[in-house]
Structure 1
Amino acid sequence: MKKTVGIIAYLLFVYNVFGQTNSNILQYDKPAEVWTEALPIGNGYMGGMVFGDPFKERIQLNESTLYSGDPNRKYENFNIREDYNEIMALFDQGKYAEGQEMVQKKWLGRPQDLYQPMSDLWIEMAHTGKVSNYQRVLDISKAVHKVSYAIGSTKYEREVFASYPDHIFVIKLSANGPDKMSGAISFSTIHEPTMDVGGSNNELYLNAQVPGFALRRTLEHVENYQDEHKYPEIYNKDRSRKPIAKQILYHDEVDGLGMYFQSRLIVDHEGGEVVYIDGKLTFTNVDEMVIKLTAATSFTAFDESPISKELPEQRVKSYLKGVLNSNYEKIKERHIADYTSLFDRVDLEINKVGKRSNLPTDERIMRYKEGGDENLVALFFQYGRYLMISGSRPGGQPLNLQGIWNDKLIPPWASAYTMNINMEMNYWPAEVTNLSECHEPFFTSVKELSENGAKVARSMYGNSGWLANHNMSIWRNSGPVDSCACSFWPVASGWLVSHFWEHYLFTGNEEFLRDEAYPLLKGAVLFYKDWLVPNQDGFLVTPVGHSPEQSFLYGDGESSTLSPGPTMDMALIKESFSRYLQSLDILGIEDAELKNEIMEKQSRLLPYQIGKYAQLQEWQFDFEDKEIHHRHISHLYPFHPGNQITPTTSPELTKAVKQVLLRRGDQATGWSMGWKVNMWARLYDGDKSLEIMSKLINLVKENDPKFKGSGSYPNMFDAHPPFQIDGNFGATAGIAEMLLQSHDGFVHLLPALPTKWKQGNVTGLKARGDFQIDITWKSNAIKEAKIVANKGGVLPIRSSVALDVKGGQLMREKRSNDLMSPMNSGPFLDHKKTLLPQIEVPAFYEYFIATEKGDVITLIAK
């Protein structure tokens, strides 16, 4: 009975504060106990995790440029040509494992450096008494975090936000009632060996330096691979360990190397006093207190050592000086205006908002499979947009595996930019959910990477153009990292450049295509055309390739992950060649010699193949999967995120794609399920997409054996597990794919609407061609759509119901009901067609509308 009364009081509190209409909140009735229960805030430069403890608040802090190591300590100076012929001979003889062993021994470097935690802010409250009416809320519609609770007759409130315009975090604490606030504010850092804390009056700072050498591998791992020569910091030339040998080296241990940083705050207050004593700001009998916090590092550029110890302090003082004359309300007003200018572009409602929306978010996640709470999916969708706005803004760094949120000295997979899916997946929602500006840090990083990539292409391969492998850090290392054969994958550039191409398609910005996309696309193509070799049938393939991160079986049960011409390699090269040739036409560029070479080589690229199980073949040869249910589905790249295979243009290959998905199964790591949500949406199967999405909405709690597998942590972070943020962005993109697709020559309205989504509306989504789209549906069918033509041009529409068209000029309309019949999809090697699965595709109504810039087209169901 007592618990029931408490829940009712909590729900009444939520209702009174937020009402029933704000569905864009994460809310909890207790503080975070572990990091994956804390709530994220960010301004693109800094990330913070807010725990919400009434007695001892912790905000764990990150800065987006804070990485271990130094750009001059890369291991990319080896030359693969020395062993090329020997290794190729092994692959030619079908000795794949032997060839892979030599690649791992001869052609790999050392691990990428690690994204580092910065510091922790602690606010200790001298409370006495029992806490009641506790609530913790993250309002993602405004990017404001709130904590409220009562002790006795006094109500305490905290409000936290991260301002992009002012480059600061702001924390406001207030007490309403007879009691005041007393306690202490302090900093700490995991980099304690280099920590220096100081302050005066109302100011507090922490200086420190991150490791100049940080190794995610154990020393035993290095020695097992005989890689000691790659680490002169900790090994002698005879491979013996130096006395200092360990995974983490600070400052004097590693020639003074390591990036510097400073965290600094100032406090304004009403009532009482604030004084600096012994590394803390102590406050006594305060009514209200505003903390303005910022941070900076000594990072200057991807190819410069971060050696300036003074630079962080110069930067933070400049940021704080910028808000010296701004009070809390002005800073908050600027923050909300900036944030909502992005967030408010898109809104999504699914079914009616029910009572369950007022429950704590972790309980909603746990109960989602009971049904009746489809707006939780809408919250997941908007949460992905919130994380992108908070974590990726112009001037900052791109989102890594953990976004900009990490509390570990040696984070999972180094918090790397992993480019065989994860970094790219982070940005799948950017264009379609109307956040093009958030793509900018990604674009900048790829341009920087291409500079290193051009050097490595020449020195390591003797090739023109530029390359990227499967991992990089802030130092933009383009060579292969260590140990895993999957590290050798010099074709990642095409996937990265595809984002530039998509940005052009969504915005129609021809200047961007000419100045930004085309040079990078041409560079990728130059490397690819030099890297290709003919196979025994005369088709061009990559001489040694990889299907991330799967292995195959061959011979008498041997396994390998490397072989010539895997489908993923070929897909990226096909796409890049095609888009390069399209760019020449669009931009009117004359490049006859290269154009002719690419056209000739394009015609000889290995076609897609259908294997013995009626699946899209993953490798040049029809090997057996080592792991049928492997998390990666890389060979489906031409279906998604690419568009070389679609139900319209390639029906037989589309069926082979479906067969792969059926064989792989639904359950996987978090990000993999995010990818599959997108895949099934492109197969027009919204129910299957939502079924997999429901596996992502599966509560996982750290260190609790009752909550196992992949899914979502209580704070809605994707549980790979451990936390990996790409699953959040993959889910957001997948939900958008259910509602709108434009990759197949049409703006396709509600292509994969799940049966459970009876009614709803979405506003502000973007389609290729720079069309902005609102859709309302009822009884599982489109009711009305509004499309704004930002650029003008022909608007091709596809819908499952007949529409009345108002606005623009209707050029042609037709009904198409034969999309999956055999069509000319280009040459491909086809085996055992009869085993292909069936795909049911509804009849479509198609409309071609001529529009002018600024036209508004209204479509109403007949």
Structure 2
Amino acid sequence: MKRIIVVATLILLYNTVFAQSDRHDLHFDKLATQWDEAVPLGNGILGALVWQKADHLRFSLDRADLWDMRPMKGLHRKEFSYQWVIDQVNKKDYKPVQQLLDGPYDHEPAPSKIPGGALELNTKDWGGVTSVHLSLKNALCKVTWANGTRMETFVSANKPVGWFKFQNLQGEFDPQLIAPKYQGQVKISGDPVGGDDLSRLGYKQGTIKRNGNRVTYHQEGWNGFSYDIAVEWKKIDNTTIEGVWSISSQYPEQKPVKNAIEIVQQTVPKSFDTELNTHTSWWKDFWGKSALHVPDSLLEKQWYLEQYKFGSLARQDAPPISLQGVWTADNGRLPPWKGDFHHDLNTQLSYWPAYSSNHLDLAMGYINHLEQNKANYKRYTKLYFNSEGLAVPGVTTLDGTEMGGWIQYALSPTVSSWLGQHYYLQWRYSMDREFLKNKAYPWLKQTAVFLENITLKDDKGHRKLKISSSPEINDNDITAWFLQNTNYDLALMKSTFKTASELAGELGLKKEAAHWAKIFAEFDDYALTAKGELMFSPTMAYNQSHRHFSHMMAIHPLGLIKWEDGPRAQSIIKNSIGLLDSIGPDYWCGYSYAWLANMKARAKDGNGAAKDLQIFARAFCSINSFHLNGDQTKSGLSKFHYRPFTLEGNFAFAAGLQEMLLQSYAGFIEIMPAVPEGWQNLSFENLRTEGAFLVSANKVDGKIAEVKVISEKRNTTSLKLPFKTYTIASNKGFIVKNGPDGFLKLTGEPGGILILKTKIK
């Protein structure tokens, strides 16, 4: 009887797009009392954190494009030159580089992301909070107090407003807008993790005005930038209030946007319930894109929370996900690492799950941002590298301007290569030929032009950078520069020329494809120890616990060394992962565990991948699921015990679980390639593969019972058969042929559906 129930449950989950279950929701019996444990709400451009500060309900309000965009003071000088840095390295006189190019990031308060403000309501007389609930299915937060007051609030999924409704209110409704403290004591910490006092920005304190049921806040920033917050409410009956809030930003050289005051005036006459229905429809569509069920409740819930955060942060027409997205620290200080765009890991990891979870539309916000800033990147490429082509700073402002910092990484020559992989993935998972022609290949081509220009051949004929680095090995010391290619830079450069050649060939550009293939062949092999372990560089083995697995880029995410390539590749992968584990996690962050889980999934190690994901979810996340970088359990999983909130670890986690369930990077589709032996019953629906296929599968009593493949475009793929015998239960629009042993060759028409089944005894 138990087995029948399990099978029936999995069939139900498999044959319908999973309805979002409340078992994945956040439930608390009180509001958080600090911002990084708050209930998060967002829509890519606006965000709110709902928590309690002293006796007040607090909404920390944020907007993605609130930025102090002043140039980094002291950075752009005659020494701002790649060649000057090379000369200083060769002279072994590196202190001037640290002072002139590294120093400004630590010493200057801006450029930086800045917080918006807060909305507060005195709840002292309401009694304690008895219930807090974040419903993932419709991104709705509900809070109940002991005196019966109830609140519902959401940030509209597709409009620049947040809504709130209070019921059973007793007494006056008197919300207060709280401005960030831009005036006050200056606290110079010099600590980019802890941040700095907001007063260092030097703003004149903004103005707050009240007019009946409306409160507004206007803040002037640097060089004509300003932003406005407005909140307005209406009385529905004697005990019910509905209201809205919005934030608008204005930059002097950009087209004006609708002011927050005008937005709330036009929105408040509408109905909370009607707008909630529209908002809920967006989330219903979002959750309908893909789903999964695994027999580990911790991992399953964390995955749904990561999907929720991605849906709250990513939009095509909004800035991409920065370090904190739309949840900038609300602690009176600048956000950790200035809340900027870190392209040496953070933005990249944040979009890893978008592809196979079938959210390509939301991933386009990342691509659109890079496209919009290409002219600025080319200015930087010419200024710093004195080269044509395309380079991107590793640490940037909202418009892509360089910010400096540890320049081995903040001004690394291979940043545009890693970003180029996301163009490649967007193409491979969508097979959108217009995107290939107009965006993907142009980006890879310009990156290849740049790298060809700045590399040279050594005495063995191998192409190399004059100086190379590996994030973030040896920090910003002169020893962080290597005179031979690091495996990090090498893998990224090889990836650029390999994919540039592939995409040129796809477009019929034979000469360009041949040229890029020729350059690709000029690079040396990866540096390995005598035991076949990937090294940082030919002169430095992996000899220290380190958070950034930069030396293993060729394994993941680039897939240049693949398990499927055979014994030598498998030996390199196993040995390199084994070395990581043996040296240990003393100086890992949470994202290190999430990244390692992805690599172990590529190595078909389901037990190892699941264990690392469990550690991440259990030890490195706040109660609201935010990744806090350090080991919050202080149980020996890392010597970092701090708690700066950044998002990349969250999304690398989601990608890791997806990688366990479905892989297609090796040129074929593999079902559940890395699940633990104990996972006997599981399923997933509509995960996306390269080639623009959607795949669903379920496993019952340890055996894969059914596989469904949908073809989005006219295309061919191979499926590694997950069972020995099967029947074609349904076929519409597919040509199915036997391939090599254990594989099927599938050719699908747009909208084609193929279902394969096997008998479960």
Counterpart of 1:568 (choices 482, 485, 488) is 488
Partner of 2:658: 736
1:470 aligns with 2:368: no
Partner of 1:267: 233
Q: 1:66 touches 1:115 (CA, 8 Å); kept in 2?
A: yes
Partner of 1:253: none
Q: 2:298 touches 2:614 (CA, 8 Å); kept in 1?
A: no
Q: Structure 2 vs 1, CA of residues 388 and 720 (structure 1 numbering), >3 Å: closer, same or farther?
A: farther
Partner of 1:3: none
Counterpart of 2:145 (choices 140, 145, 149) is 149
Q: 1:66 touches 1:299 (CA, 8 Å); kept in 2?
A: no
Aligned mates of 1:381, 1:679 — CA distance in 2: 18
Q: Secondary structure at the match of 1:83?
A: helix
Q: Structure 2 vs 1, CA of residues 861 and 552 (structure 1 numbering), >3 Å: closer, same or farther?
A: farther
Aligned mates of 1:437, 1:375 — CA distance in 2: 28
Q: 1:398 touches 1:445 (CA, 8 Å); kept in 2?
A: yes
1:711 deviates by: 5.8
Aligned mates of 2:263, 2:290 — CA distance in 1: 31
1:254-284 Cα offsets, whole Å, 9 max, x none, are xxx363111101101123xxxxxxxxxxxxx
Instruction: Look up the equivalent residue of 2:758 and give its one-letter code.
Output: A
Instruction: Look up the equivalent residue of 2:592 and give its one-letter code.
Output: S
1:25-79 Cα offsets, whole Å, 9 max, x none, are 0111111111122110001111110116795210111110011133596834545
1:666-715 Cα offsets, whole Å, 9 max, x none, are 63211111111101000001100011111112246989xxx9942699xx
Q: Structure 2 vs 1, CA of residues 477 and 41 (structure 1 numbering), >3 Å: closer, same or farther?
A: same
Partner of 1:293: 245
1:172 deviates by: 0.8
Partner of 2:564: 648
Q: 2:229 touches 2:261 (CA, 8 Å); kept in 1?
A: no
Counterpart of 2:540 (choices 620, 623, 632) is 623
Aligned mates of 1:631, 1:400 — CA distance in 2: 19
1:202-251 Cα offsets, whole Å, 9 max, x none, are 111111134x3xxxxxxxxxxxxxxxxxxxxxxxxxxxxxxxxxxxxxxx
1:73-103 Cα offsets, whole Å, 9 max, x none, are 683454536636734745xxxxxxx265565
Partner of 2:84: 83
Instruction: Look up the equivalent residue of 1:377 and give its one-letter code.
Output: L
Counterpart of 2:737 (choices 811, 829, 840) is 811
1:148 deviates by: 1.7
1:605-664 Cα offsets, whole Å, 9 max, x none, are 122232134202321x23244x52111111211211112111112541332232222222
Partner of 2:448: 525
1:810 deviates by: 2.0
Partner of 2:576: 660
Aligned mates of 2:566, 2:551 — CA distance in 1: 15
Q: Structure 2 vs 1, CA of residues 99 and 675 (structure 1 numbering), >3 Å: closer, same or farther?
A: farther
Aligned mates of 2:541, 2:561 — CA distance in 1: 23
Q: 2:429 touches 2:690 (CA, 8 Å); kept in 1?
A: yes
Question: Aligned-residue CA RMSD in angstroms?
Answer: 3.0
Q: Structure 2 vs 1, CA of residues 756 and 141 (structure 1 numbering), >3 Å: closer, same or farther?
A: farther
1:202 aligns with 2:213: yes
Alignment TM-score, normalising by the size of structure 1: 0.76
Instruction: Look up the equivalent residue of 1:710 and give its one-letter code.
Output: D
Aligned mates of 2:444, 2:172 — CA distance in 1: 59
Counterpart of 1:136 (choices 132, 138, 146) is 132
Q: Structure 2 vs 1, CA of residues 645 and 712 (structure 1 numbering), >3 Å: closer, same or farther?
A: farther
1:90-135 Cα offsets, whole Å, 9 max, x none, are 5xxxxxxx2655654566584372111110010123625x447x11
Counterpart of 2:471 (choices 532, 544, 548) is 548
1:27 aligns with 2:27: yes
Aligned mates of 2:306, 2:351 — CA distance in 1: 10
Q: Structure 2 vs 1, CA of residues 109 and 392 (structure 1 numbering), >3 Å: closer, same or farther?
A: farther
Q: Give the paired residue count.
A: 696
Q: 1:747 touches 1:796 (CA, 8 Å); kept in 2?
A: yes
Instruction: Look up the equivalent residue of 1:385 and give its one-letter code.
Output: Q
Q: 2:73 touches 2:104 (CA, 8 Å); kept in 1?
A: no
1:518 deviates by: 1.6
1:387 aligns with 2:306: no
Q: 2:534 touches 2:541 (CA, 8 Å); kept in 1?
A: no
Aligned mates of 1:460, 1:575 — CA distance in 2: 23
Aligned mates of 2:607, 2:575 — CA distance in 1: 17
Aligned mates of 1:848, 1:610 — CA distance in 2: 36
1:315 aligns with 2:315: no
Q: 2:590 touches 2:616 (CA, 8 Å); kept in 1?
A: yes
Q: 1:76 touches 1:109 (CA, 8 Å); kept in 2?
A: no
Aligned mates of 1:142, 1:727 — CA distance in 2: 24
Q: Secondary structure at the match of 1:732?
A: helix
Q: Secondary structure at the match of 2:563?
A: coil
1:533 deviates by: 1.4
1:411 aligns with 2:422: no
Structure exhibiting the larger radius of gyration computed from Cα positions:
1
- In structure 2, runs of 5+ residues without a counterpart are 1-18, 184-204, 635-639
1:341 deviates by: 1.1
Partner of 2:202: none
1:611 aligns with 2:529: yes
Counterpart of 2:439 (choices 516, 524, 534) is 516
Counterpart of 2:179 (choices 162, 172, 189) is 189
1:504 deviates by: 0.8
- Percent identity reads 19
Q: Secondary structure at the match of 1:489?
A: coil
Partner of 2:116: 118
Instruction: Look up the equivalent residue of 2:114 and give its one-letter code.
Output: Q
Instruction: Look up the equivalent residue of 2:352 and give its one-letter code.
Output: W
Instruction: Look up the equivalent residue of 1:204 and give its one-letter code.
Output: V
Q: Secondary structure at the match of 2:174?
A: strand
1:133-189 Cα offsets, whole Å, 9 max, x none, are x111111121111112332xxx221111111322110011101xxx73434201112
Between 75-84 and 463-472, the greater mean CA deviation after superposition = 75-84
Q: Secondary structure at the match of 1:855?
A: strand
Q: 2:395 touches 2:411 (CA, 8 Å); kept in 1?
A: no
Counterpart of 1:710 (choices 628, 631, 654) is 631
- In structure 1, runs of 5+ residues without a counterpart are 1-18, 91-97, 213-256, 272-285, 352-373, 816-844
1:791 deviates by: 1.0
Q: 1:125 touches 1:181 (CA, 8 Å); kept in 2?
A: no
Q: Secondary structure at the match of 1:577?
A: helix
Aligned mates of 2:654, 2:289 — CA distance in 1: 15
1:487 aligns with 2:407: no
1:559 deviates by: 4.5
1:685 aligns with 2:651: no
Q: Secondary structure at the match of 1:182?
A: coil
Q: 1:66 touches 1:259 (CA, 8 Å); kept in 2?
A: no
Aligned mates of 2:567, 2:642 — CA distance in 1: 33
Instruction: Look up the equivalent residue of 1:136 and give its one-letter code.
Output: V
Q: Structure 2 vs 1, CA of residues 562 and 421 (structure 1 numbering), >3 Å: closer, same or farther?
A: same
1:43 aligns with 2:33: no
Q: 2:65 touches 2:398 (CA, 8 Å); kept in 1?
A: yes
Between 793-802 and 693-702, the greater mean CA deviation after superposition = 693-702
Q: Secondary structure at the match of 1:797?
A: strand
Counterpart of 1:161 (choices 151, 154, 157) is 154
Q: 1:68 touches 1:116 (CA, 8 Å); kept in 2?
A: yes
Aligned mates of 2:352, 2:339 — CA distance in 1: 19
Counterpart of 2:507 (choices 579, 587, 604) is 587
Aligned mates of 2:386, 2:245 — CA distance in 1: 49
Q: 1:449 touches 1:468 (CA, 8 Å); kept in 2?
A: no
Q: 2:699 touches 2:706 (CA, 8 Å); kept in 1?
A: yes
1:576-610 Cα offsets, whole Å, 9 max, x none, are 111111112211236x3x55543332221122232
Partner of 1:766: 688
Counterpart of 2:647 (choices 725, 749, 759) is 725
Partner of 2:197: none
Partner of 2:377: 453
1:427 deviates by: 0.4
